[in-house]
Every structure is written in C-alpha cells, then in structure tokens.
Amino acid sequence: MSADTTTAQEALTFADLGLSPKVLSAVTDAGYTKPTPIQAGAIPHSLQGKDVLGIAQTGTGKTAAFVLPMITRLEKGRARARMPRTLILEPTRELAAQVEENFVKYGKNNRLTVALLIGGVSFDEQEKKLERGADVLIATPGRLLDHFERGKLLLTGVEILVIDEADRMLDMGFIPDIERICKLIPFTRQTLFFSATMPPEITKLTEQFLHAPARIEVARAATTNSSITQRLVKSGSKPWDKRETLRNLIRSEGDALKNAIIFCNRKIEVSDLFKSLQKHEFDVGALHGDMDQRARMAMLDNFRSGRLKLLVASDVAARGLDIPDVSHVFNFDVPIHAEDYVHRIGRTGRAGRSGKSFTVVTRGDTKHLDAIEKLTGQTIEWHDGDLSTLAPVTEEDDAPRRGRGAPKRVRGKADGERKRDHKRGRKEEVVEAKPADVQEFRAEVADIAEERRTRKDAIKSDNASRGARPGNASNQSRRDDRRPNRSNDDLNDGTVGFGDDMPAFMKIEVKV
Ligand code: AMP
C-alpha cells in the first residue's frame, strides 16, 4: 500500500465509509470519532460484498470492522425460521458473548434478531431462538455443529460468514470443524476472515475458502505504553518458589494495587495458582476454559465491578476480553510468544493512567525474555537486585503434593506468613534448609543474569553486523511470517499499520 493510500485512509471519517445512517448514529453514540485502521480498510470492501482477509488482533477495533457493515447490509431482507442470514464463528464463549454485546451497542437502531450458540448453556433456549429466525448467529464451532446435527439449523441461507480469531481456532483444534462448516454454507456467500497471525494452516484455509479477498493488515503491537512501569523479578523455577515470589510482590505493592490480572501460560497453572492464592486468603478469581459459561461470566462480572481484586487467567481465556483498566499485571510465567507480553501488560496503564507490570523470571525463561526485549526494543529493569528477599520458602499448600524427590521446605524470609498460618491452626511441617539448598538456589538465580548478558551480547553483535536497531530484525521476520503470499495480487489489496506508535484509541478508557 502506498503512503498516499495510508494518508487517505487516516483522514477517513465513519461517514465516508458507506455505513447506513442508523449505524452511523449508533457509532456516534458509542463515542467513536474516527475509524481505526482495520475499520477504515475493511468496512468499504465488506459493504461492497467482497471477501475480506483482516490480519489484526483484538484491541484494534476489528469487531466493529465486521459488525458495522454486517448491520448495514442486514437492513435489507428478513430472517426465516431455522435459516440464519449471517454466521459469526468465535473460538471461545466469552468472545462470542462479547460480539453479541457489540450487536446490541451498534444495532440499537436496528431491529435485529441475534442468537448466541455457545456451550455451557441449554440447547432448548437456543433452539427457540433459531426457530424464530435469526438475522445473526454467533457461535462456537462445536455447539454450532451440535445444533446442525440435531437438525435444528439450516446453513443454506447464510449470506455472510465471519471467521474470527482464526489462529486461535487453530490453537484450539477447531480447523476441521471450520472446514466442515464452510462446506455447509453456500459458495456464493461473502466471507470475512480475521486472524492475528498467518501460520501456514491458516493461509491454506484462506486459499481454500476466500475468493479474491481484500487483504487488510494491521501491524502487531510491538510497543509498550510508556505509562506502564515494567519490572522483572527473579525467582527459583519451582512452582512453589514462583508462587512465593508472587505473593511477596502482591503484598509489597500494598494499597497501590487496586486490582490485577495474573497471567499464566497454561490452564493447569491457572488452576493451581488460583487454588494456592485462595488458600492464602487472597481475594482471587480465575478464568480458564474448563469453567462453565455461567461461572466464567460471573467471575468476569465480579472482577469488572471491583468485587474481586485478583484474576488469574491464561492468554486463551483472557484473549479479546474487554476488561477495564487494571492497576497491575503480573506475569506468573514469561509468555512464550513475545507479542503476548505486549497484550498482557497492555491491560494496565490505559487512558493515560499509570500502571505496573511484574514478570516472574526463572532461569529457563531467558530465551523468551530476550524475544520480548527484542520485540519491544526495550530492556526491562529488574525489580529488586537483592536476591535475599526472594529466598525460596515453600508453603503448606504444596505439602500434599510432596512425595519422593519433592523439594524440601526451606526456611526463609516468610516467617511472618508461617506464623499467620499457625494462628489459623494449620498443621505445618517446616524442614530446615540445608545450606546447600540455599546455595543451589542462589546460584540458579544468579545464572539468569549471566545467561542473559551473554545472549544480549550475541544479539548486539548480530544486529551490528546487519546494521539494524534491536527491534528491526524481529519486526521484519514477523512481517514475513504473516505475508507468505505477498506475490499473490489477490491478497495485496490494502495494508495499513500502526508503525511503532501505540494507537490513540487503545488508550481510550474502556466502558463496561
Ligand atoms: P476490538 O479490537 O474489537 O476488541 O475492540 C477493542 C476496543 O476498541 C473495544 O473496547 C471497542 O469498543 C473499541 N473501539 C472500537 N472501534 C473504535 C473506534 N473507532 N474508536 C475508539 N474505540 C474503538
């Protein structure tokens, strides 16, 4: 895309995009003054009935990029029983529910019937809605196919298909379901396809199911907001060491910590950490895929309304959720994908407020940490160089899991905590640490610094030899990853990007 095209798109207003007056009025009521790049790029094409390939992550305004033109196009025509006119596929129930909220917000001047087909909710209610006829069907793939197989749904009337968060669908094993669904919908439909990244499996899917799509690409966020104070915190690598480190951090933040999201890499860690924090009497909730829909919604509501202070979540469970500004983000695990770091900490420091993020780092994390620093072009400071404050004290909650080969309880700085446990009348076994245990731990955390220094030197000399600044190499390779088909003219329709700047709309306070 030429610089002229980009500038022209930047100057666009919502009124220039071709949306209906009813939709424009709802957008004005939502308080948006300017379309985001993905909206400016995708809306005109989708209003013309073209297929769209939107490469954009959540937070870029991509939901409105497909919801607004859909509502405009649905103003003509009516829904028939069991034959939805449009279908939106989402990987998780929360995302599906969030898209439904978007229809309520942007469709307030339109009389649309929206049906949500997600797991964890009774079939009966959903069937009744289908029976009445739905203009918009928002579904997770599994539940959609369940309804289809029960004979309660016909997909032959679908005029517009949206596949959202395609790469997340891939991670969650939904691609065979998506392929099946695509084959059940008329070939003449319009398809709007969104993915944050374009791994080969997703590219294959787009080649199979999109027809001459307009490609709109929004660069991934590679910068972190300067109003977020970011710190790294050294920890021993055992789960109980990390939990102790986290508890110390939470306590040391005192009243400055209004509310926090604690990110883990896997759902098993979410569950373990949640139970542990609960045991230690923190005001905590968790979001993970195994909870039923009602429990997850209730948990989110409690957190949004301030009734819960801490929320433990995985990237998958938290992805795309419109969670309001939080004072703190803790990375219990260093994220495996560097971009996830930017998204995680972007939950704080919104709307010009200050925020804090702490990342618990163990010896095995240096590779991922380097990738984060390379992506953001920043060196993240250590919170407290004094390792003595982070002596590994294992806790009572780990005791039931101890078997042979399990770690010994080490007497450290958290004596006060153990006293409190005594007061609560809990039985406690304390095994005095052998000097060798402590030494081993200290050697381990000291090695983190050394290993990182070595890696950094290697990266520096690599960059120097390429004449690149630290962020460039990774930016380039990420872009290449997402453009395997750059030679394909069909896919080269329009590319817009945020460059290195945090887009202003991302700093706008989120209303809930
Ligand atoms: P999404 O990427 O769809 O999850 O949107 C992220 C957030 O941006 C949501 O809270 C939207 O309400 C908000 N948003 C969407 N479009 C705009 C816009 N044009 N201006 C300001 N905020 C927007």
What six digits make up the tokens of 411? Answer: 């007497």
Closest ligand 1 atom to the C-alpha of 102? 12
Q: How far is the CA of 64 from the centre of ligand 1 (A)?
A: 7
What pLDDT score does 503 carry? 39
Largest CA distance in the chain: 77
Closest ligand 1 atom to the C-alpha of 506? 8
**DSSP structure string for 21-49:** HHHHHHHHHHT--S--HHHHHHHHHHHTT
Does the Cβ of 57 fall within 6 Å of ligand 1?
Answer: no
By CB atoms closer than 10 A (0-12, 13-18, 19+), residue 469 is exposed
Distance CA 259, CA 175 (A): 36
Does the Cβ of 225 fall within 6 Å of ligand 1?
Answer: no
Indicate the SS3 state at residue 225. coil
Does the Cβ of 331 fall within 6 Å of ligand 1?
Answer: no
- pLDDT tens for 120-151 read 788 898 999 999 999 999 999 999 999 999 99
What pLDDT score does 399 carry? 34
Distance CA 172, CA 317 (A): 11
> Using CA of residue 91, residue 97, residue 99, residue 103, what is the dihedral sign?
positive
Residue 88's contacts (CB-CB under 8 Å, 6 or more residues apart) are 66, 96, 99, 136, 137, 138, 139, 161, 162, 164
Q: How far is the CA of 266 from the centre of ligand 1 (A)?
A: 27
What six digits make up the tokens of 63? Answer: 């939901």
* Ligand 1 atom 1: residue of nearest CA: 61
**R_g of the chain, CA atoms, integer Å:** 25
- pLDDT tens for 391-446 read 443 333 333 333 333 333 333 333 333 333 333 333 322 333 333 443 444 444 45
Substitution candidate for ligand 1 out of 505, 509, 510 with most atoms within 8 A of CB: 505
The helix (H) or strand (E) run that includes residue 262 is strand 260-264
Mean pLDDT of each 10-residue bin along the chain, 512 residues long: 54 92 96 91 97 86 96 94 96 90 96 91 90 95 94 94 92 92 95 90 94 87 68 91 94 92 91 94 86 77 89 78 79 90 79 80 90 86 59 36 36 35 33 38 48 55 46 31 28 32 38 34
- Report whether 317 contacts 343 (CB < 8 A): no
What pLDDT score does 464 carry? 55
Does the Cβ of 63 fall within 6 Å of ligand 1?
Answer: yes
Does the Cβ of 64 fall within 6 Å of ligand 1?
Answer: yes
- Report whether 283 contacts 310 (CB < 8 A): yes
